[in-house]
Amino acid sequence: MYLRRTQRWKNGKEHSYWSIVESRRLADGRVAQRHVLYLGEINDAQERAWTRSIQVFADGDPQPQTVALFPEDRIAAAVDEASIVRLRLEQLSVHRPRQWGACWLALQLWKQLRLDQFWAGRLPPSRKGTRWDQVLAVLAVYRLIAPGSEWRLHRQWFDQSAMADLLGLDFSVADTHKLYGCHDLLLAHKTALFQHLTQRWRDLFNASFDVLLYDLTSTYFESDPPFGEDDKRKFGYSRDKRPDCVQVVIALIVTPDGFPLAYEVLSGNTSDKTTLKDFLKKIETLYGKARRIWVMDRGIPTEDVLAEMRASDPPVQYLVGTPKGRLSKLEKDLLDKPWQEARPGVTVKLLPREGELYVLARSADRVAKERSMRRRQLKWLWRRLNQLQEMKLRREDLLMKLGAARQQAPSVWRLVEIEVEAAQAKFTYRLNKDKLRQVRRREGRYLLRSNLTETDPAVVWNYYLQLVEVEQAFRHLKGDLAVRPIFHQNEARIEAHIFVSFLAYGLHVTLGRWLRTLAPGLTARSVLEKFAALQMVDVQIPTSDDRVLVLQRYTHPEPELQLLLERLKLELPAQPPPRITVASGQMDAGM
């Protein structure tokens, strides 16, 4: 990289503008220059009237000094020698490149949600002056941009980011004791936080909270059990396919736009059907009684809870998936009902029954997908059974291999009838065509039940499709925000770690909702990656009196990022003011 001067005539005078430019060798051998950093007009005027004076801050001096800047080889005529700082431009150097853009964008989201005001009133500074609210801001931004352990934040990420510059802090905010200690202060404010966020989303996006999507997931720990009896880390049904690890269960309520209303960390052995009743009370306590529609997957509500929802005042409306076993009981009644088109490729049948509405939905795309999966598994199982018939095995080994095949293809195993001889290692198998016909009839079909008074099939089907939003929220938590691995051992800090992850998810979903309006088609993760390309550097220019002028500058945005800034109606802040060292040998604290 090198310093390039651009000259321009303006109002009859020649002006010089300075930039840092990088040379790049192209594939055909030519050299192209890339604009890296714009420094502006470093004064090279020879006339006093056009001498540019700027304010710089000397280390240890809170008051700025006004000085005139000249390249060392220029003569500054008619200017007071005491106010002249000659710059040795040939010794210009660039130091400490650090990620600035994504951090700046994350803090803009933080301020849009007024989380700076919210936490300033609830996390006052400690007696030693620790700004806990800003420690939390660092933790949340880190979880949003580059999630990892608190130790990695302390050891690596903080120095490679511009958080200190943006918050006006030093490295002490990333001390490991402060990062861990901040977790101990958070859980008491969980209810107030979600009430605050709910109001902000109403104000910013006119968000509606009439439809609630409820689901559960689990996250596991690679740690050595057992723990205390009251510890929530327990063995249970693992949605991560890790039954060998202890886990906790996370129950979450979101809106169709993905805005979270509440979450709870439960014991790892919690059964799904035992959680809904408490959450109904929790939402009513937090947000009052209102007509809300709860959308859930099968296995979450029990018959008793659904009865209570129907009997409450006002009635709590629901739309819930139903096990396909119930379809057998209703199949005869549904045969006479006509198919109605809910949307292209989706048809439904409606069956009122005992104060509820049963909805049988059939999706052409889902039929094709499930049929393809079933055929592939059945072909594999048929080929495997043929291989086992030809093998010479002991009877015990044959039974083991048959068990392994059943575990590999459990959904199609019940379509095949297998008979193993009692005394020999031989077996026969055949396809059960009656069961196959029944499976074919039910492929791509969903049975839903609801107490909604709405009878428009398109509305009912669209409500159920919105359930993917809560699954998307879990994917963001486990993927983009990396809620695991969890390195904490203390149970309270484990819950606080999940709390910080949800706080980062609040920023993530706010950015996504913002993009949906102003820049549709872009995802929150792709935009953060675009902004991460903006770097901040320290430009150091030695002076003739053995001091150093320090210019902290963020790089100029590329054209596509400039377009994105315009679409999002964002304006980058002014570059920080220059600083100058006090005496020879003393370097700026930020270098």
Does 318 lie in the same domain as 208? Answer: yes
Residue 141's identity, in one-letter code, is V
- Taking only the tens place, the pLDDT of each residue in 111-134 is 999 999 999 999 999 998 899 999
Three-state secondary structure of 506-560: HHHHHHHHHHHHHCCCCCHHHHHHHHCCCEEEEEEEEECCCCEEEEEEECCCCHH
Does 473 lie in the same domain as 508? Answer: yes
* Percent of the chain residues past pLDDT 90, beyond the cut: 42
Does 505 lie in the same domain as 431? Answer: no
Residue 378's identity, in one-letter code, is L
Does 367 lie in the same domain as 303? Answer: no
- What local confidence, expressed as pLDDT, does residue 82 receive? 55
DSSP notation for 212-250: EEEEEEEEEE-S-----TT-S-B----TTS-TTSEEEEE
- Average pLDDT for the chain: 84
Q: Judge whether residue 481 has pLDDT over 90.
A: no
- What local confidence, expressed as pLDDT, does residue 2 receive? 61
- Greater confidence (301 vs 325) lies with 301
Give the confidence band of 38 by pLDDT, cuts at 50, 70, 90: low
**Dist CA 493 CA 182 (whole Å):** 9
Burial of 541 (0-12, 13-18, 19+ CB in 10 A): buried
3-class DSSP assignment, residue 358: strand
Least confident range from 38-47, 140-149, 386-395, 566-575: namely 38-47
Read off the pTM.
0.79
- What local confidence, expressed as pLDDT, does residue 63 receive? 58
**Dist CA 1 CA 34 (whole Å):** 9
- What local confidence, expressed as pLDDT, does residue 423 receive? 84
Q: What total of structural domains would you count in the chain?
A: 3
Give residues with Cβ within 8 angstroms of 333, minimum separation 6. Answer: 351, 353
Does 393 lie in the same domain as 286? Answer: no
Domain assignment present for 181: no
Average pLDDT over residues 274-300: 87
**Residue found by looking up tokens 């510890």 in the block:** 231
H helices present in 288-335, as ranges: 303-311, 325-335
Does 297 lie in the same domain as 201? Answer: yes
**Dist CA 286 CA 552 (whole Å):** 46
**Dist CA 435 CA 439 (whole Å):** 6
Q: Judge whether residue 156 has pLDDT over 50.
A: yes
Domain assignment present for 12: yes
Closest CA to 265 of 241, 247, 286: 247
Domain assignment present for 317: yes
Does 377 lie in the same domain as 480? Answer: no
Domain assignment present for 491: yes
**Dist CA 585 CA 587 (whole Å):** 6
Q: The domain containing residue 417 runs over which residues?
A: 329-451
Does 310 lie in the same domain as 205? Answer: yes
